[in-house]
Structure 1
Amino acid sequence: MTTSPRVNTTDGIRLAVREHGDRSRPCVVCVHGYPDNRRVWDEVVAHLAERYHVVTYDVRGAGESDRPRDDAAYDIDQLADDLERVMDAVSPDRPVHLLAHDWGSVQAWQAVTEPRLRERIRSFTTISGPSLDHAGEWLRSRLRRPTPRRLRDLVSQLAHSGYIGFFQLPVLPELTWRTGLMRRLIRLLDPSARHTSSETGDGLAGLALYRRNTGRRFRTPNPRPTSVPVQVLAPTDDPFVGAPMQTEIGRWVENLRVRHLRGGHWLPRSAPLRVVRATEEFVDYLEGGEQSRGLRRARASVERRGFADQLVVVTGAGNGIGRATAAAFAASGAEVVAADVDEQAARLTAARLRERGATAAGYGVDVADGPSVRKLAERVREEHGIADVVVNNAGIGMSGSFMDTTEGDWQRVLDVNLWGVIHGCRAFGEQLIERGEGGRIVNVASAAAYLPVPGLSAYATSKAAVLTLSERLRGELAAHGIGVTAVCPGVVDSGITDTTTFTGSSPEEQRRLRERASRLYRRRNFTPEAAAKEILLALRRDRAVAPVTAEASVGLLLSRLAPGPLRAVGRFRST
């Protein structure tokens, strides 16, 4: 880090500026909000400075910069002018990329929408800080054209913004800051506030930001458009700035991307790596790099078909339901990773998808082996990115009485059918949580999980465990925006009977039983393609449990409404 000479503003205020990284690289200027100072960016800067020339500064009234006494000195136009002075000092010959949070975003918006600064700003990544003019017009538009949803958003935002009215009061806001009550209130409303770098002096001085600007901007907004590429990072749990007000700005921003990141208001401190990753993707793209899948998906006002711009991983994709599901996702626009214990079969699936114009790759994986699954997850991340949808489909069939099923049989069916799902959920789920932009996990169980079919004690146990696991994970991962769906197929002609183990049978009887089971499944004539269609539909509807086939649907209903009679049927069939 280098300390730059203090930048003098047009009205004589001196701003403390710090520079990080190589000055020959693209310049990223970070603007902090209220009641913070430049230290709110410390963890973000530590990573960005490895690749860029990063600049932080204390805005007027905060940190080591001068503190004007007159509220008029905090006018939003003056703050934008301060930002221009900093840009000219640190990157006079090259446009900068802006990264701003809270009130830093508010003043950056003023610069971004200033026509004369268009060539000075290459991109703008904003977190929890709308343009005051855009926000004022957004609020007024809710009343001009009220609908239940628009009114709900308005009421929600007014509740979020109640503190703005409080800051207009005389004396009382200052008192809450001096007694330490304000800091406790902020942390009560948003746990991520424990990361804030706020100091009492910064909080007191910054009250002028609200008193000078919010009232008149909200009463008579003058929203201006911009051609600067804008990326909005909207925290999902921000108690102060609702997502609609900061993201529904497409009429003013012609090149807009919106990304919803898990976290509270102080995202730069509570989840710095998420901010770093999104910023790097945006800056790299605008500096001539390839557009990431996340950026393509975040592009606003673009109609997408199905699962376009999503990466889908399917295990057991070498045949049957897995192969059909991979094909269905590919036909819906997704990039597909097909994985199977038979690597050649997985590669063949991928090759067929590529022949149809899809983007696909095939890999070998033994889902029963945890390190093998984790290695697959890391390879997918390195070569394709973090998966958006993971389908844990790989499984094996096993039939036979409980007494004929050996410990080795039990171990094998549980290793593949249950542990394979556990390994997939852990390896890919960790990446989804880290990314912080949600995702989907699909675990293929079976109608045997709740139907008392005789002769399937081991298989049904493994699939019942998958169903229970999925239901528990759905609740646990909801906080991370990750949906979990358990798919329960009935009799699907997927080819699983060709490899099913019939315990306690001789090789000749094993062959005969497989042929008999295969004939029955073919007679049912429910194809893997039909099952894949139901899986994609379940994802679109975000279903917790998705029975596939009529018997699976009826069985699920009976298992919940009439479990006793259903068990009686199972005892009769066993007899």
Structure 2
Amino acid sequence: MEANAVAASTGAQGTVAAGALAGATERWVSTGGVQLCVAELGDRERPTVVLVHGFPDSKEVWSEVAKRLADRFHVVLYDLRGCGRSSAPKPLRGGYTLEKLTDDFLAVADAVSPDAPVHLVGHDWGSVQGWEFATVGRTEGRIASFTTMSGPCLDHLGIWLHKRATRPTPRRVGQLFGQGIKSWYVYAFHTPVVPEALWRGPLAKAWPALLSRVEKTPARGEPGGDYPTSSLPTDGARGVWMYRDNVRARLRRPRTDAYAHVPVQLIHPTGDVFVSEQVFDDLDQWAPQLTRRSLVAKHWAPRTRPDQISAWIAEFVTTVEDGTPARKPRATSQYAERFGGQLVLVTGAASGIGRATAFAFAEAGARVVAVDRDAEGAARTAEMSRLIGAPEAWSEQVDVSDGLAMEKLANKVADTHGVVDVLVNNAGIGVSGAFMDTSPEHWQQVLDVNLWGVIHGCRTFGKQMADRGQGGHIVNTASAAAFQPTRMLPAYATSKAAVLMLSECLRAELAGKGIGVSAICPGIVNTNITTTTRFVGVDREEEQRRRTRSTRLYGKRNYPPEKVADAILRAVARNQAVVPVTPEARGAHLLSRFAPKALRALARLEPKG
């Protein structure tokens, strides 16, 4: 720290007995006439991650993220001056400048990690401050990396605004007005007295319910619902001085040397109603070592998506600590920005379309859960997914036709990895033969896997998506047989037609919750389904002959499952309803809509033996 930095001292330590950070070690750091309340979790011998909160928050906004990071890092959270349990400057005016907030950060960093730089993570105003910390000279050597969420650098923003105001184009004017509308509250906070009165009165009372309703944060009584804390009225009333002391001054006279001297990870919630993604258009010039992430979430992502955020922080910090370049989303995948870091679960992932789909999501940087009855096959898929690009991948063995097992799987995944963002119900089996030759047992088997497996997946994982309130997507693998009748596939075609209609019904029901549903309808795809298909009504020798013949036919057609996987990612990215894959599937789909009699005539043809 430079000679002009404010001297700091550390007070007594204790253990937090209850609340969102129960079990954390708590201490006080004195700096610049204020006492900062600092909480620590994890092993102090490990790399230190400092989480800085925003407005009108306290350090508890980070509690769920902190708990997930504590097993790998030394995690530090502190209440900003005047927030939570920290004392406020006197007077408030002039007490919240970025220069003084930088003093506070350096005092905390020196107290919790005197011999090593810390990894900084900021959200909202914690991110605004973080940009100051990561770009001023006096913090060089004290910060190892910076992860920013929902808070631009005021200097970068000032230059961004000036460029659009002085050199307007239709696009730039639109961006200017768009961000201006999103920043309505900034103007309101510059009015005297009124914001403080609102925060100390009706606004603070309504805030928890408002957050729960609009942002879908956990409500009181739910896991993670112990936020906001009781300090909210004073947090909001005092915190408005961060806006008054900094915004106008920096936007009018932005620093032109605000270059980051550390690697930066930008996490942008796509549903953020306060910060437009466009304000980060020129960020690469300010942060030469930049990693961009997009997260399907709203502004308070640390409360609604702690699983995703903690995974990205851990990956980024680890790469910086190891001295390797931060792994950016793979340029080879056009879907990296869309799916990077999302949690994707694929059933039937041990082979074929399921395995190809898991690999495609892995290449896009998604975290993958590979599910199959074949435990070894699922494990191989998970292992390969990690090698391809998935930051994390796991395997689970389950029979999708077992409803209780699927419920247990959904709860396990949610508890361990978080709520699934994309569910791919792909597991399926084949049964071929005339209706009169298909036994009730065969009907039961194909419906249990092909239909009930999809129902179980949609019920368990879909409910979790809906309850989370942050959207998601469900993909159900149907088939061209869903709309193409055939005399030799009555059981299989019936199950897939049911999946198609189920998908359409769910799409209508879940649209209001931001959850998309897509039905993927492949035609003849070169997978191993023919080697496991049951051919009924014939003896074993004939069954094996037909199986061999079908496998040879699928091999000659040689339509790779990777193309189906690409169609699945495209369907999710575009929120497509029904996606026929392969030329024959698209042709059958068109005939089913415009010339159904032709399809019925084709269905009467008896296949050659």
| TM exceeding 0.5 | yes
Alignment match of 2:585 (pick from 547, 552, 558): 552
Contact 1:167 1:211 in 2 (8 A): yes
1:273-305, Cα deviation, whole Å (9 max, x unpaired): 4443333333333333988xxx7345xxx7334
After TM superposition, the structure 1 = structure 2 runs for residues 274-423 of structure 1, keeping only pairs within 5 Å, are 274-288=308-322, 296-298=327-329, 303-305=331-333, 368=401, 392-421=425-454
Match of 2:47 in 1: 26
For structure 1, which segment, 469-478 or 501-510, has the greater mean C-alpha deviation from structure 2 after superposition? 469-478
Shift of 1:165: 0.9
Work out the CA distance in 1 between the residues paired with 2:528 and 2:49. 55
Q: Does 1:134 align with 2:156?
A: yes
Shift of 1:90: 3.1
Work out the CA distance in 2 between the residues paired with 1:492 and 1:270. 39
Work out the CA distance in 2 between the residues paired with 1:388 and 1:192. 15
1:354-404, Cα deviation, whole Å (9 max, x unpaired): 9x9999999987655678889999999999999998765443332334343
Match of 1:238 in 2: 272
Work out the CA distance in 2 between the residues paired with 1:6 and 1:136. 33
Q: Does 1:260 align with 2:291?
A: no
Alignment match of 1:166 (pick from 188, 202, 208): 188
1:173-198, Cα deviation, whole Å (9 max, x unpaired): 23323431466379647445774335
Match of 1:250 in 2: 284
Where structure 1 has 5 or more consecutive residues not aligned to the other structure, the ranges are: none
Work out the CA distance in 1 between the residues paired with 2:311 and 2:111. 27
1:37-94, Cα deviation, whole Å (9 max, x unpaired): 3333344444544554433333223333123225222222222222222222333222
Work out the CA distance in 1 between the residues paired with 2:389 and 2:210. 49
Contact 1:192 1:267 in 2 (8 A): no
Shift of 1:252: 0.8
Contact 1:313 1:387 in 2 (8 A): yes
Q: SS of the residue aligned with 1:296?
A: coil
Contact 1:399 1:502 in 2 (8 A): yes
Alignment match of 1:196 (pick from 228, 234, 237): 228
Amino acid at match of 1:212: D
Q: Does 1:110 align with 2:144?
A: no
Amino acid at match of 2:569: L
For structure 1, which segment, 235-244 or 334-343, has the greater mean C-alpha deviation from structure 2 after superposition? 334-343
Work out the CA distance in 1 between the residues paired with 2:376 and 2:127. 51
Q: SS of the residue aligned with 1:451?
A: coil
Q: Does 1:459 align with 2:492?
A: yes
Distance 1:119 1:537, change over 3 A: same
So what's the TM-score if we normalise by structure 2? 0.74
Work out the CA distance in 1 between the residues paired with 2:344 and 2:58. 41
Shift of 1:30: 2.8
Amino acid at match of 2:332: R
Shift of 1:238: 2.7
So what's the TM-score if we normalise by structure 1? 0.77
Work out the CA distance in 2 between the residues paired with 1:333 and 1:239. 25
Contact 1:318 1:340 in 2 (8 A): yes
For structure 1, which segment, 144-153 or 85-94, has the greater mean C-alpha deviation from structure 2 after superposition? 144-153
For structure 1, which segment, 309-318 or 278-287, has the greater mean C-alpha deviation from structure 2 after superposition? 309-318
Alignment match of 1:526 (pick from 540, 553, 557): 557
Q: SS of the residue aligned with 1:98?
A: strand
Shift of 1:461: 1.4
Distance 1:532 1:269, change over 3 A: closer
Alignment match of 1:539 (pick from 565, 569, 582): 569
Distance 1:434 1:561, change over 3 A: same
1:389-448, Cα deviation, whole Å (9 max, x unpaired): 876544333233434322101111123323444566678889999999998765432111
Distance 1:187 1:159, change over 3 A: farther
Q: SS of the residue aligned with 2:95?
A: helix
Work out the CA distance in 1 between the residues paired with 2:66 and 2:347. 38
Work out the CA distance in 2 between the residues paired with 1:165 and 1:567. 64
Work out the CA distance in 1 between the residues paired with 2:69 and 2:355. 41
Distance 1:185 1:243, change over 3 A: farther
Identity %: 48
Distance 1:471 1:257, change over 3 A: farther
Shift of 1:336: 9.5
Work out the CA distance in 2 between the residues paired with 1:146 and 1:119. 39
Q: SS of the residue aligned with 1:28?
A: strand
Contact 2:591 2:599 in 1 (8 A): no
How large is the Cα RMSD of the aligned pairs?
Answer: 4.9
Shift of 1:120: 0.6
Distance 1:312 1:159, change over 3 A: closer
Q: Does 1:488 align with 2:521?
A: yes
Alignment match of 1:501 (pick from 528, 531, 534): 534
For structure 1, which segment, 539-548 or 219-228, has the greater mean C-alpha deviation from structure 2 after superposition? 539-548
Distance 1:150 1:545, change over 3 A: farther
Contact 1:485 1:539 in 2 (8 A): no
Work out the CA distance in 1 between the residues paired with 2:280 and 2:535. 59
Distance 1:516 1:357, change over 3 A: closer
Distance 1:83 1:97, change over 3 A: same
1:311-365, Cα deviation, whole Å (9 max, x unpaired): 98876677766677789889999999988767788899999x99x9999999987
1:514-563, Cα deviation, whole Å (9 max, x unpaired): 577678x46x953232x642541452364432213333213222334455
Match of 1:61 in 2: 82
Equivalent pairs counted in the alignment come to 560
Shift of 1:105: 1.9
Match of 1:75 in 2: 97
